[in-house]
Amino acid sequence: MDSDIRLGYAGLLRRHFGLIAAAWLAVFTGNLGQSFFIGLFQSDISQHLSITAGEFGSIYAAITMTSGFLVMHFGPKIDWIAPRRYALIVLSALITGVLMLTLSPWWGLAIFGLGLQRLCGQGLMTHLGSTLAGREFTLNRGRALGLVSLGMPSGEIILPPVIALLVSWLTWQQIWWSIAAVLLVMWIFLILFVDWPEAPRKKKSKNEPQEKGPSPMRERRFWMLIPMLMVLPITLTGIFIYQAQMTEDLGATATTYALALTGLGISRFPGALLGGRWIDELGVTTLAKLYLVPFAIALLAAALIGGNIAIWIIMLGAGTALGMSSPIGDSLLVRLWGREHLGQVRSLKSAFLVFSTGLAPAFLGFMIDAGVQFQSILLGMLVFLVITWIMAQGPIREAHQQATE
């Protein structure tokens, strides 16, 4: 469905608005399963289920790890299931999860509903949007991925104030139903009126010889590349979870952190749009070598400077790099493993993202308990970033040499 000429963002939206809108909405809908959204209702959910905050955290961690494994199973199916049908299945499961969590009087069924939200929201909806943009565009892949990736920060910026406005006159269940209903109407329109692409592969019958896809987990280049693609979510998860310790050690205030967090979401927009443009014009491999520089500089400066300014430096540097990370990562996967296998390979990336963000808080928690100051933790994050960057240079060079795509 891609154009045979390179387009700017305006031209891309004019010629492929339907496809980009569907992919963007998939990523935006994924916010219903993201930690920031569920966290806004943590106390309400705990009260609804009659569990403590600690029990909720344990259940949430178990659900998150389980959804990571399930993404590896259901994610590759987008390579042979038609995207329109795949979207309908995932959307139906997500809405079912919302209804189960908010309506079920049974504890187990409500927890299962929360699990469906994590799997279909954070996992499969985001996977659907990024996979569609990554494989349906070639010359304009960077810009398409840049636009689609804005669905996540859009949700982070739009949903919290909307919820704050509604919470004074609606129950938390009614807020969820209202948001789900609006999204459902938008999805119905796109499913009915958008010209959806076909799946790139065919599912063989049991009697036919099965086509063997790649096995990234058996390839050295996958293990050399994946840590660099995970470094931002790993380190930022630790920063988000332990923001109280970070602000205290750096001599900053909680108010500054809250404002800077909004700055992070806003700074993802220029990061994604500029990153998408540069991928198309300079090449993904060139940008892959540079996109972590803003965050690396931010970690070093924050550790040395301290104070409220350090929080702003971290958040703006992280937001800029984070905006570029998704288009770059998905473009590299297409270059190395091919568009027809993007669903399979990207599902592994999504699963590792879930696993890594689940392990990071535990590791940093031990360091904080041992009395390590957050300035040292930030420098340790910088060292980790540099190591992953060095490891990824081999796969990046290989992607540069690929003749396909």
> For the chain, which ranges sit under pLDDT 70?
1-4, 203-213, 357-358, 403-405
Question: Does residue 236 sit in helix, strand or coil?
Answer: helix
Tens-digit pLDDT profile for residues 90-100? 999 999 999 99
Contact 211, 77 (CB under 8 A): no
Q: What is the distance of C-alpha 354 from the center of its chain?
A: 9
Residue 366's pLDDT is what? 82
User: How does DSSP assign 372-404, residue by residue?
Assistant: --HHHHHHHHHHHHHHHHHHHHHHHHHHHH---
Residue type, 69: F
Q: At what angle do helices 126-136 and 307-337 cross, to 10 degrees?
A: 60
Collect all residues with Cβ–Cβ distance below 8 Å to 176 and sequence separation of at least 6: 41, 98, 101, 102
Residue 404's pLDDT is what? 45
As to burial, measured by CB atoms within 10 angstroms (0-12 exposed, 13-18 middle, 19+ buried), residue 288 is buried
Residues 370 and 90: their CA atoms lie apart, in Å, by 43
Residue 213's pLDDT is what? 62
Threshold 0.85, pTM exceeds:
no
Contact 130, 22 (CB under 8 A): no
As to burial, measured by CB atoms within 10 angstroms (0-12 exposed, 13-18 middle, 19+ buried), residue 363 is exposed
The angle subtended at Cα 55 by Cα 53 and Cα 56, nearest 5°, is 60
CA-to-CA separations, 221 to 5, 303, 333, 398, in angstroms, rounded: 31, 32, 11, 9
Tell me how long the chain is.
405
Residues 66 and 138: their CA atoms lie apart, in Å, by 34
Q: At what angle do helices 9-29 and 172-193 cross, to 10 degrees?
A: 140
CA-to-CA separations, 76 to 71, 154, 213, 332, in angstroms, rounded: 8, 26, 10, 17
Q: At what angle do helices 342-369 and 220-241 cross, to 10 degrees?
A: 50
Identify each DSSP E strand in 70-109 by its residue range.
Answer: none
Question: What's the sign of the alpha-carbon dihedral 330, 335, 339, 341?
Answer: negative
Residues 83 and 133: their CA atoms lie apart, in Å, by 11
CA-to-CA separations, 246 to 263, 314, 322, in angstroms, rounded: 17, 11, 20
Contact 139, 2 (CB under 8 A): yes
Residue 403's pLDDT is what? 43
Residue type, 114: L
Task: Find tokens 């891309």 and name the residue.
Answer: 12
As to burial, measured by CB atoms within 10 angstroms (0-12 exposed, 13-18 middle, 19+ buried), residue 136 is buried
